[in-house]
Amino acid sequence: MSRSPAVNALSSEASKPAPSTSVAGSRLAALNAWVAEVAALTAPAAVHWCDGSDAENAALVAQMQADGTLLPLNPATNPGSWLHRSDPDDVARVEHLTFVCTSREEDAGPNNHWMAPAAAHAKMDALFKGCMRGRTMYVIPYCMGPIDSPLSRCGVEITDSPYVVANMRLMTRMGAPALARIEREGLERAARGEGGDTFVKGLHSIGELDPGRRFIMHFPEELAIKSYGSGYGGNALLGKKCHALRIASYQARHEGWMAEHMLIVGIENPSGETHYVAAAFPSACGKTNLAMLIPPEGYQREGWKVWTVGDDICWMRPGADGRLYAINPEAGYFGVAPGTSAKSNPNALATIDANTIFTNVGLTADNQPWWEGLDNGERPATDWRGNPYDPDKGPAAHPNARFTVSAKQCPSWSPMAEDPQGVPISAIVFGGRRASLVPLVFQARDWTHGVLVGAAMGSETTAAATGAVGVMRRDPMAMKPFCGYNFADYFSHWLSFDGAGAALPKVFHVNWFRKGDDGKFLWPGFGDNLRVLEWMIGRVKGEAGAVETPIGHLPIPTDLNLEGVELSDEARAKLFGFERAGWQAEFASIGEYLDGYGPRMPQALKDEQSRIAVLLAD
């Protein structure tokens, strides 16, 4: 790999030479020029081009252990694993400080905070000026998706955080192979006489970790990201939400594919037939649990298997046969630790047994990671701030505490995650936290209805973002914080896939979180969610029964395999029922929501809302 001659050492920064930004035998002038420009602006003590090697990672980890950025965990129980404690004011995504900077404000849409690109660049460059003085500037080439996949896209993140480097190594295909693809694509583009960059440019600095000097700016028209003042994953790991959703959704619209906030899971039946399902839930609403689902005991005996392709992000494109094919652009999991247990997600627990970076969890007396819901018989001695644990002063782990780990460590990891052509999607599922009204599952009548179901999706907020928890808000396709352009145009893009020759997935909506009058969940969830997925696959194959209602096709309890599941009369009524009066109010609200996007809202969605509202009124 070509690299700067002045960047091999990862030890004492004070002794390092002045930064060098040329790459020996330069093969991609645009990349070198940008790195040189950033170095001139940020004034680092040294520049390091990351190659993703084991030796490089070991040196970075040793450096972070020495300065306290990473604390080693118990090598007997958690080998190769570390704890990172972030600043207490830097523990989640900051949606109110996240901007989409398009030339025209209406292109960003009312779903995004907008700033004019020139103003945003000026604001950010003022923050970045000299911000890396005394620090190393790391250049991270990465690929989102399998290196040889035609649907994968590359990026380069520049950062002054070795913690970001270590996490990007787990979350992306990072280093020399990614740089080689970037260089190859750049040369191919130049040979065709095409201008512009082939890679996403991401610039990040932890700055002073001052919430008053914290912004995450996206420039989709420039394929660029600038993030300052946060070390939290969703704000700092620029390959994740920033690139893989906000920038990629913009790219996807212009290139004819889809970038979605979805898990991808394969369901293999006893006959050896596998159907792949993509499912969109807001953060901390069970995507990882569903992606790593373990079948109930009876299903296991029959031979059902579940394969994990991805737990958070899904890129889809139409194949030659009209079906949608999907890849997981990520190589790792950045999962929520609290609530992860032997009951909720034993595969996740097995995945994070070793070689994992934990962020903002508590510690036991013998240095094992601990969080609420773990239920492993241990007790915390230290909380996520590093203080002696006192239950009167709050939880041991932050509610948004995380783990970062390679996807290949998951017991249910599917080798199809590395298939460059992706996996064919049989069903798309939308869902959120709704304590009332919304039944366990229903199927959309057709693609247009399915797009409306996704567009109207509502959920109660969680701790994954700053702000109040438990407030119901519309979160279309679970993309409210992540769509890089106007939602009305995004809905039109979804509708555009229903053309001649299309063989699109069936669309469903689920609600694992329906509650009874006593405030307790009515559905057992976790592994039992496979019972619902089995019904969906039956519907895809035309084999499972359903009842038609104005909101879609609902199962009756006998349509699902409920053997071994005890449901009260109230649970059966609410999980499988249709409440006309409540849905009348819901669709009136949906109509007002769609109208809020103005003339760009596709008429087809408004007509579909009106059609169902009329049916509900009968």
Say how many CA atoms lie within 13 Å of 11 toward its Cβ.
Answer: 2
For residue 66 the two structure tokens come to 């020495």
Q: Which residues contact 210 (CB under 8 A, 6 or more apart)?
A: 229
Asked whether the beta carbons of 98 and 229 are under 8 A apart, the reply is no
Among candidate residues 205, 162, 109, the one with its CA nearest the CA of residue 599: 109
Query: Which residues on neighbouring strands pair with residue 467, listed in sequence order?
Result: none
* Residue carrying structure tokens 């039992």: 528
Task: Compute the residue count for the chain.
Answer: 618
- Specify whether the backbone of 386 is left (phi greater than 0), alpha (psi in -120 to 50) or beta: left
| Cβ(7)–Cβ(20) below 8 Å | yes
If one counts every other C-beta atom within 10 angstroms of the C-beta of residue 512, the result is: 24
Q: Locate 588 and state its tokens.
A: 């009136």
Tell me the two tokens of residue 419: 């298939």
Please identify every residue annotated as catalytic: 285
Binding-site sequence positions for substrate: 93, 232-234, 283, 400-402
Q: Who's near 67: CB < 8 A, 6+ residues apart?
A: none
| Closest to 155 measured CA to CA, from 137, 135, 175 | 175
Radius of gyration, alpha carbons of the chain: 24
Classified as helix, coil or strand, 17 is coil
The beta strand positions in 366-483, using DSSP E, are 369-370, 402-406, 423-431, 441-443, 458-460, 472-474
The strand ranges marked E within 261-331 are: 263-268, 274-280, 305-310, 314-318, 324-327
3-state secondary structure of 160: coil
SS3 117: helix
Amino acid at 519: G
Pairwise CA distance, residues 81 & 369, whole Å: 9
571, 546 Cβ separation under 8 angstroms? no
CB 202 within 8 A of CB 157: yes
Question: What is d(CA 229, CA 98) in angstroms, rounded to the nearest whole number?
Answer: 12
**Cβ(44)–Cβ(135) under 8 Å?**
yes
